[in-house]
Amino acid sequence: MNDFAPDSITFSTGHYIGGEVVATGERLPVARPSDLVDYADLPVATADTVDRAVTDAAQALARSGWATQPPRERARAMRRWAELIEERALELGRLEALGSTRPIAQAVTGDVASVAEGIRFFSEWADKLGGDVAATRADHLGMIVSEPYGVVGAITPWNFPLSMASWKVGPALAAGNAIVLKPSELTPFSTVRLAELAVEAGIPAGIFNVVQGNGAVTGDALSRHPDIAKLSFTGSTRTGVAVMKAAAESGIKPVTLELGGKSPQLVFADADLEKAATCIAGSLLANAGQACVAGSRLIVQRAVMAELVERLRKKLAAVIPGPTWKAATGYAPIVSEIQAQRIDRILAESARQGAQCLLGGSRIEGHGGAFYQPTLLANVTAETAAVREEVFGPVLTIQGFNEEEEGLALADHPEYGLAAGIYTADLGRGLRAMRALKAGTVWINRYSRTLDFILPTGGYKSSGIGKDLGRQAVEQNLRHKTVLIDIGG
Ligand code: NDP
């Protein structure tokens, strides 16, 4: 992987509607996270522009036969799209790195590769979920017929722009829907390139549309559009509530929400501490903690606390921050100055509440963008801001426990239940803890997703409703019609 010059990258800066780049709307500047330099601007889609996208999508569905053609044709087009994404991995990865927090080396071999494989995974469901035949009396035939919704909407965050888009678009298209997607105004452009490649691969124009803009105007208009039959959102819990409300106010529609987390890393004294430290540090360093599943609360049995913290300290000390367009960069910038100030605020409040900083605790200076040191906070309680709130930065709080029950009680967060990590050599204990933890994903003796897209992801409690990935994501893009036929005799 080579460095690239950020100014050498060209891309479309409009909406993508009906297979065309459309530039209507007031323009907002967009900064690149690595140095906070404004490098482009984007148009803000008003309710009118959103309406145009939704109407175009409905017409494209009617015109193209996307939903009615043999499903394997749909799968074939999606497979071609996945291949094209792989062929253009460097180009897409550069665009992603330019405008987001994803370092180029990770963007190309990680994010883009996973987007292509994810789309391939979803394409394989196109002809697998047609419905069921029900057990009825012999003179009846009862069927449950699966049907796409029509035009669905999606709103995605800034932390993994391409991946998050593919998690929404893949299942929606495989099920036979058209989609209108709004990316974050902080990271808007790579999603349009993904949509352009879809059309290049043979997916009919108008099936995958992108509307650009901010949450308050464009996101809100999409959430409350009456012809959006189903909505999928990833972002903060606060915005998730607003999206759900707007969706309900404009006609009843299902809403799936992938929201924040405050996920525990529960380490028992019998665990392989080196492995646990590697997994925990990896989770904290990934995208500098700007991941919904970041394992941001260490709950460790006191007998091994000092040793584990020492191992973590060593693993977290040597990060390689830098611009995302340098191949050597291994550590992501914080997405924006506002987000960095949010981390500052939570750390300052935690310090006032008595938290003791064992590592980091401040920004890494000397770079144009906002970079944050990996930070370890001890002497915290359930009330400490960094334990209570999702930081969305590289901050790990440390709490000790003696007995299993005490550890499980600490691991349970009053608000969030997205993911959890358990580290132990005792399988029985690991499985007991798995059952007790109220989290949508539990990892035992590891902490990260794999390319097993069959495993769904989603939250308990205020971490969300519904699932991304897995068969469930495709099912959520289908609705079911009950049919009962009198066959006489
Ligand atoms: P938001 O929840 O504000 O943004 C997520 C998406 O929703 C963006 O596309 C945003 O648009 C859009 N949006 C914002 N307001 C509205 C609205 N009223 N109606 C419809 N859509 C809206 O997250 P942020 O980007 O501000 O990040 C803040 C916090 O969100 C983080 O600190 C973290 O807690 C959480 N987060 C969680 C993620 C996860 O994967 N679970 C991912 C990202 C953030 P725009 O950005 O253009 O305003």
What are the tens digits of pLDDT across the range 241-288? 999 999 999 989 999 999 999 999 999 999 999 999 999 999 999 999
What mean pLDDT do residues 445-470 have? Answer: 97
Ligand 1 pocket test, pick from 184, 223, 224, 238 with the greatest ligand atom count within 8 Å of Cβ, gives: 184
User: Domain coordinates of the chain in residue numbers?
Assistant: 6-259+463-482, 264-452
Whole-angstrom Cα distance, residue 258 to residue 157?
A: 10
Q: What is the pLDDT of residue 49?
A: 98
Say how many Å lie between the CA of residue 262 and the centre of ligand 1: 16
Share the mean pLDDT of the chain: 97
For residue 43 the two structure tokens come to: 């148009």
Instruction: Give yes or no for a contact between 40 and 24, defined as CB atoms under 8 angstroms apart.
Output: no
Quote the tokens at residue 197. Answer: 């490649």
First to last CA, the chain: 70
Question: pTM of the full predicted structure?
Answer: 0.97
42-83 pLDDT tens trace:
999 999 999 999 999 999 999 999 999 999 999 999 999 999
Q: Is 292 a catalytic residue?
A: yes
Average pLDDT over residues 378-405: 98
**Sheet containing 419-423: order of strands:** 356-359, 375-378, 395-401, 297-301, 264-267, 419-423, 441-444
Question: Of the residues 41, 101, 232, 239, which should be mutated to test ligand 1's pocket, given the most ligand atoms within 8 Å of the CB?
Answer: 239
- Average pLDDT of 390-404? 98
Q: Which CATH number fits domain 264-452: 1.10.357.10, 2.40.50.140, 3.90.105.20, 3.40.309.10?
A: 3.40.309.10
- Predicted pLDDT at 136: 97
CATH for 6-259+463-482 is 3.40.605.10
Q: Is the pLDDT of residue 114 over 80?
A: yes
Neighbours of 381 (CB within 10 A): 13
Q: Average pLDDT, stretch 387-407?
A: 98
Mean pLDDT of 358-363: 97
b/e sequence 268-281, b meaning 16+ C-beta within 10 Å: bbebebeebbbbbb
Which protein residue has the closest C-alpha to ligand 1 atom 18?
216
User: Is 357 an annotated catalytic residue?
Assistant: no
For residue 1, the model assigns a pLDDT of 84
